[in-house]
Structure 1
Amino acid sequence: MCTIARAATILLGLLCLAAVALPATIGDDALAIDINQQGHVTAMRVSGAALSVTPAPLVELCDVADGQFVAPVLTGNAQTGLAMDFAQLQTTGSLKIVPVDGRLQFSVGVKGADLPARGMLLRLSFPFDANGWQWHQDMQTSQAISRGKVFEDVVPLRAWADLPEWKDQPDLRMGYSNRNFLTVLTGPVGLCLSVPMDRPCTFRTAYDGPNSRLQVVYDFALSPDTAKPNEVDFIFDLYPCDPHWAYRSALARYYRAYPQFFEVFIRDQGQWMAFSRLSEIDNANEFYFALQEGAPETEYDDKIGVLSTIYLTHAGQFARIPDYDPETQPLPPFDRQLAAMVEAFGKATGDEKMYEKVGLHTAEGQLNIVKTAVYGHIIAQFNLDPDLDCGAWTLKRADELTRNIKEKSGGELDGFYYDGLSAGINYRPDHFKTALQPCLWDPVAQKPFLNNFYSSVEFARAAAEQLRPKGQITMMNGAEGSSFFIAPWLDVLGAETGLRISRQSLNYIRSITHHKPFMTLLKGNYEQTIGHEQMELFMKRCVAYGIFPGFFDWPPSGLGPGGR
């Protein structure tokens, strides 16, 4: 009886300890934050220095229908898991803050009641005074923080892949998200907020000068149609960096923390050759070719140590409408467009129902077909999620193409080339079930949707996990303007460029690739528009960022290697 009473006393004591877990100090000498019983951040220390903090809620949630942020009631232990109750929003959640190798890792989950879909914003704030500090956009660009301004570096969703064919297409004025995976501030000390590159989601970081806080805001929808109904979760890290090396220091720490995202699978780096046969170029090795797009002669490429890649997928399916002249006739009715697109997908995949299964839906629930003047009359983007039909078919086709080329040429196919990846937005509820990304919310249509590029990221990950163990690689064109969430699953990133690649783009590419190769195809007529002085400057800029400059003489003037 005495033993039972003692055990009961010990258990009651443990329960009491759990109940008084807040207030708490979480972290170590490198980085620590204090949280009180109301869930407010009351103190922060970075590299031993105390920051000037005005207590404010760490976590707040907003239903976009009313636009008011609400702080939760917190119970539990921050390191083993705090329970969050947003009673007036009919939502609960969890928060865990764990020290990991000198950084604090925040894991946040949100679960809504069994309600119709709704749009939400989740905000986590660190309320310290950074007036006079530096806000860093990349490794070379920063600006002084002031109290009268909000500092951020965000981009809207793109409707199409970042390829020359769609340079004139506007961005979608919705779904703004961070340009980069790091947010860096420096003053007497340095502080970085980062996200893992293997968890695609839409988020924005900012230093809110008027409210003196560093914040991260997640943009999402709670939907009963997702794999986990009305539930989402997010992860981010907070860690100190050297204020003198600033962004470079933050990058170095990230590369050490997540080396798997930057593993290099290409032994020899060099130029990108598109289509032309290297056997037709005298002393081809003098040009340091490393990758051949098109794989016209894999056996010869093997002899000279050049990787052969073949076209696998693209940013959209083109179709031509029978008996239609775009120069003299208006675009035919939707039923004719749909018939042409269904036929195009059927010819490409052997499945006459493929487009109906993987085509993107508009907010009105209609398959989304758009007029184009490039390569066809119309174009449709599609969902490449590997758990859906087109993604699964494409992965299977990769193995079939590898076998076929080996049988025909005797050479080894080294990998595959993506001419961009399908982007756009997708309102199709039956696609929500397999998506690993959180849904987003359209406040005008009052409906949830998917960022379809993140579905393409899921495909790219599945492809990398399938191909890398076999010694094969993937490359994507249009990487210069793509989300960083694609970078871990590509072995070569490339872009068709003009003479001028902005410093911002070069800094971005080098940040997301680290030591992976980035290749260019400089497009232009070398005889008429590009002289020696311009070419020399282009090559110098590339070399400064560790990029092998590549060339695509278009339209062919005959001056480039093989007329390209």
Structure 2
Amino acid sequence: MKLKITLLLLTATLLFPQITNWQKVIPETKVAIQYYSPERTGSFLNVKNTDVKNTDLGSSLTFSNEWTKSVLTFRYYENDIELAGEINNLTESDLCLTLKIVFPLKDKDSLSWNNDMDNSFIIQQGKIYSNYVEVSTTIPPAGSFNAIGKENGGYGDKIGTGQMSFYPLASVSTASVGYGVGLDLSIPLVYHLSYNPDEGLIAEFDLALTSRTTKFPNRSFFKLQLFEHDPGWHFRSALKKYYEINPDQFKKRVAKEGIWLPFTPLHSIKGWEDFGFAFHETDWRAKDSGVKGKSTIEADRNAGVYSFQYTEPWDIQIPIKNLNADYNEVISDRTIPAEHREYLKSSATLDKNNLWQTRKLETPWFESGWAVSITTNVDPEITNLNRYQFVCKDEINPSIKMNVDGIYFDSMEWNWHHDLNYNTKHFEYADYPLTFSSSLTNPKPAIWNYSSEFEMMKKVADEMHAKGKFTMGNGFGFTPFAPGILDLFGAELSLYSKGDADKRKLQFNRAISTQKPIVFLLNEGLNDKVFSTPPYNGYIQYFEKMLFYGFFPSFFSVDAANDPYWQDSTRYNIGRPFFKKYIPVIKEIAAAGWEPVTYLKISSTEIAAERFGDDLYNGLYFTLKNESTRDELVNLSLNTTCFNEIDFRNPVVEELLDKKMIETNVTGNEIKFNYLLPANSVRVIKISGNKN
């Protein structure tokens, strides 16, 4: 048997040279399970490997005990190994568990854990390495109607075991090879990736198995991609390879780029051409008063601006005045208008006590100021009239008939996405793995509501893409799955919230979207003195923060409803020169496309850099950010062989914001130059050449 496996590995090595190191690891893969119901085991239990099958193109490992049977099928491809995994419930009870897959990458010399785009750590014994965020259902600040007595309504309960990886991939590396493991983004599920020196590289999934998932009864599933990458640029190299393996998920479809305009009719803004608008969030019923009342969709089309139909299907918000009303009153016909009653009967999600999830929501867009927000399951396949059908009839279909350019999904990181839906009638429609909450005394299967939202977004995206049109989402959170199907992304910021635009979050936004457009709106803080009093430094700080990552800055409203920026000519006229200065530069670098590996050597640790473009002759762009409080004279060098260029001569190097030419020194294949970068600022360096 050992001789046969050795010969098969030798054959696979010859056929698939880019994955040879991983092929040696696969036969040693291990499986363990921690159970949360019907009984808690308190720790992971190893599951015996009971069967092995090998072919020239892959292998299959089976792990079994009296409760479960897990099958891991490895398929070799040129750039990666696909692991299609499934776990089967052999009992008559529902099972809630964490499935642990261990790849024994250990006892390697000088292994590094590649944490994110900036940080790698030499692995030390006795420490577990991960990049997690805490995940739980969102607690409504004002409370809810379904939290009765001592019950919390499920708000604040852990999703799965309460953690998810911040990125959908993990990487460790030696001096000679990087090992990457990445999620298949087409399957939304609760996962965590880590490294334990005593075990190896680990992938875990929080899953629930029940006979009521008609499409996959008593079974759950996942997919991973195992790949090797250049160790030199650590996590950034892993990202580069991950993008190459998943071209469909990271495909850029949008041709025109620019800033985001929320709701305000385009032609009502005087001199709108100065601002670089590209994406207009609107409604098919809206009119543009600036062009004799044409629909905004038609007016945008004539102006060369993409129009996007607004929808927020994840809940239904019903205005209320009595915040002390009881649960039965807010779900009764006295509160819910007739048009919403029928689909709520089929689409309302249920909390752990089988009550509708009904938040108290402050809503400045309603005259009452308050609403009951009822979470809905937007799975298109739910029988009878459902929430998806209602939204299509009321918003999506009429806009498509008017030739809208795209569909805009609002509030993708707000209240409802991490709700756990215990409505067992919905289980038969689920296409993706169920999960549970370890917060419950007796955990039970639940639909992670985000996975139902993914079903709707994917259906709409597929239909729009077939028409040559687009989909846009507002908000990221920490979930990577929607960026694999949507075409551009928005986010709303507060000037006063460090978490909204900290480095970790912005890097994630850039990385998970690759070259797809990312647009921002500033809400809280737009009336601050830094935007209304000379020298208007707020514009410089905000725009340069966005510029560094190739993001597009814009504004909306302090409360995301009233007194919008783009309806106030005093405010936007103050901003006009800043838009005219920065947006064309952001357009230029965004068109070139962000790349995760810069290849740029920088003399100062105070300077951060990102690269845009992949062609020296057409132009490489480097955004440089001075993160210190003093000016920095920085030495920079670029080896042209990284771009398959040898003897590259006479480079043209210029800074685009200050419009300065920069002297260079070419030594061999190294382009070297110096630049004085002002404190707390961002500049853009373009390097190009002439083939003649």
What is the TM-score when the length of structure 2 is the normalising length?
0.68
Aligned position for 1:260: 248
Q: Does 1:117 align with 2:94?
A: yes
C-alpha distance after superposition, 1:401-434 (max 9, x if no partner): 2266x3xxxxx42122211244111011111111
Give the 5 Å matches for 1:17-416. 25=9, 28=13, 29-32=17-20, 44=25, 58-64=30-36, 65-66=40-41, 67-79=43-55, 82=60, 84-89=62-67, 91-127=68-104, 128-129=106-107, 132-160=110-138, 172-175=157-160, 176-188=163-175, 189-209=177-197, 211-227=198-214, 228-295=216-283, 296=286, 297-321=296-320, 324-326=321-323, 331-339=324-332, 343-344=336-337, 346-347=338-339, 349=340, 352-374=341-363, 375-388=369-382, 389-402=386-399, 406=402, 412-416=403-407
8 Å Cα contact 1:478/1:495 also seen in 2: yes
The reply on whether 1:429 has 2:433 as its aligned counterpart is no
CA offsets 1:481-529 (integer angstroms, 9 cap, x no match)? 1411111221121011124511111111111111111100011354434
Letter in 1 for 2:88: K
CA contact (8 A) 1:182 1:195 kept: yes
Query: 1:192, 1:250 within 8 Å by CA — same for their partners in 2?
Result: yes
Could you tell me whether the CA contact under 8 Å between 1:361 and 1:368 is conserved in 2?
yes
- Tell which deviates more after alignment, 136-145 or 196-205: 136-145
More displaced 10-residue stretch of structure 1: 264-273 or 416-425: 416-425
Cα deviation per residue 1:304-362 (whole Å; 9 max; x = unaligned)?
A: 211111212244222234xx544xxxx22221011169724x43x5xx22112111111
Tell me the CA shift for residue 144 of structure 1: 3.1
> Which residue in the other structure is 2:506 paired with?
506
Deviation at 1:368, TM superposition (A): 1.8
Q: Match for 1:133: what amino acid?
A: L
Relative to structure 1, the CA distance from residue 320 to residue 284 in structure 2 (aligned partners, 3 Å threshold; closer, same or farther) is closer
Distance across 2 between alignment mates of 1:116 and 1:364: 20
Alignment partner of 2:552 out of 529, 534, 548: 548
Q: Secondary structure at the match of 1:88?
A: coil
Q: Does 1:560 align with 2:538?
A: no
Which digits, 9 at most, give the CA deviation of each residue in 1:45-85, with x for residues without a partner? Answer: 9xxxxxxxxx9652233333223422223324145653625
Cα distance in 1 for residues equivalent to 2:410 and 2:139? 9
Amino acid corresponding to residue 360 of structure 1 in structure 2:
T
Q: Decide whether the 8 Å contact of 1:371 with 1:379 is kept in 2.
A: yes
Q: Is the 8 A contact 1:132 1:145 kept in 2?
A: yes
Query: Which structure 1 segments of 5+ residues have no match?
Result: 1-16, 36-42, 46-54, 407-411
CA distance change for structure 1 residues 144 and 108 in 2, over 3 Å: closer, same or farther?
same
Query: Hey, what's the Cα distance between the residues in 2 that align with 1:24 and 1:74?
Result: 20
* 1:494 corresponds to 2:490: yes
Give 1:131 shift.
Answer: 7.2
Residue 38 of structure 1: aligned partner: none
Distance change (3 Å), C-alpha of 1:437 and 1:30: same
CA shift in 2, pair 1:290/1:82, >3 Å? same
CA distance in 1, matches of 2:313, 2:470: 16
Q: In 1, are the aligned partners of 2:193 and 2:202 still within 8 Å (CA)?
A: yes
Other structure's SS at 1:236 match: strand
C-alpha distance 552-402 of structure 1, shift in aligned 2 (>3 A): closer
RMSD, aligned α-carbons: 3.2
Tell me the CA shift for residue 134 of structure 1: 2.8
Q: How far did residue 398 of structure 1 move?
A: 4.8
> Quick one: distance in 1 between partners of 2:282 and 2:25?
55
**Shift in alpha-carbon separation, 1:246–1:386, aligned structure 2, 3 A:** same
CA distance in 2, matches of 1:220, 1:153: 20
SS at match of 1:496: strand
Q: Residue 75 of structure 2 aligns to a residue in which SS? A: strand
Question: What amino acid does structure 2 have at the position aligned with 1:334?
Answer: Y
Identity of aligned residues (%): 21
1:419 aligned to 2:439? no
What is aligned with 2:436?
441
3-state SS of paired residue (1:290): strand
Query: Distance in 1 between the 2:201 and 2:274 partners?
Result: 51
Secondary structure of the residue aligned to 2:66 is helix
CA contact (8 A) 1:556 1:563 kept: no
Give the Cα separation in 1 of the matches to 2:140 and 2:493.
11
Paired position in structure 1 for 2:687: none
Greater Cα shift, 435-444 or 522-531: 522-531
CA contact (8 A) 2:159 2:420 kept: no
Q: Distance in 1 between matches of 2:545 and 2:199?
A: 38
Instruction: Indicate if the aligned counterparts of 1:132 and 1:146 stay in contact, CA closer than 8 A.
Output: no
Change (3 A) 1:87 1:58: closer
Task: Please give the per-residue CA displacement for 1:447-501, whole angstroms capped at 9, x wherever unaligned.
Answer: 111110111011100010111222332211122x141111122112101112451
Distance 1:203 1:418 in 2: 24
CA change 1:170–1:131 in 2 (3 A) is: farther
CA displacement at 1:244 relative to structure 2: 0.9
Q: Give the distance between the partners of 1:513 and 1:259, measured in 2 at CA.
A: 12
Change in Cα spacing, 1:241 to 1:161, as seen in structure 2 (3 Å) is: farther
Query: Per-residue displacement from partner, 1:205-250 (whole Å, max 9, x unpaired)?
Result: 10113x1411111110111111221111221111111111222222
- Cα separation, 1, equivalents of 2:233 and 2:275: 36
Cα distance change of structure 1 residues 395 and 262 upon mapping to structure 2, 3 Å threshold: farther
| Aligned-partner Cα distance in 2 for 1:234–1:292 | 37
Paired residue for 1:456? 453
Give secondary structure in 1 for the equivalent of 2:232: coil
Q: Distance in 2 between matches of 1:398 and 1:242?
A: 47
Whole-angstrom distance in 2 between the partners of 1:34 and 1:371: 51
Q: Is the 8 A contact 1:130 1:145 kept in 2?
A: no
Taking structure 1 as reference, are residues 78 and 181 closer, same or farther at Cα in structure 2, changes over 3 Å only?
farther
* SS of aligned partner of 2:172: strand
Deviates more, 1:530-539 or 1:445-454: 530-539
Q: What secondary structure does 2:329 align onto? A: helix
In structure 1, C-alpha distance between the alignment counterparts of 2:436 and 2:513, rounded to whole Å = 31
In structure 1, the partner of 2:479 is 483
TM-score by length of 1: 0.82
Change (3 A) 1:278 1:93: same
Distance 1:525 1:85 in 2: 56
Distance in 2, matches of 1:271 and 1:97, equals 44
Structure 2 unaligned segments of length 5 or more: list them. Answer: 145-153, 287-295, 364-368, 576-692
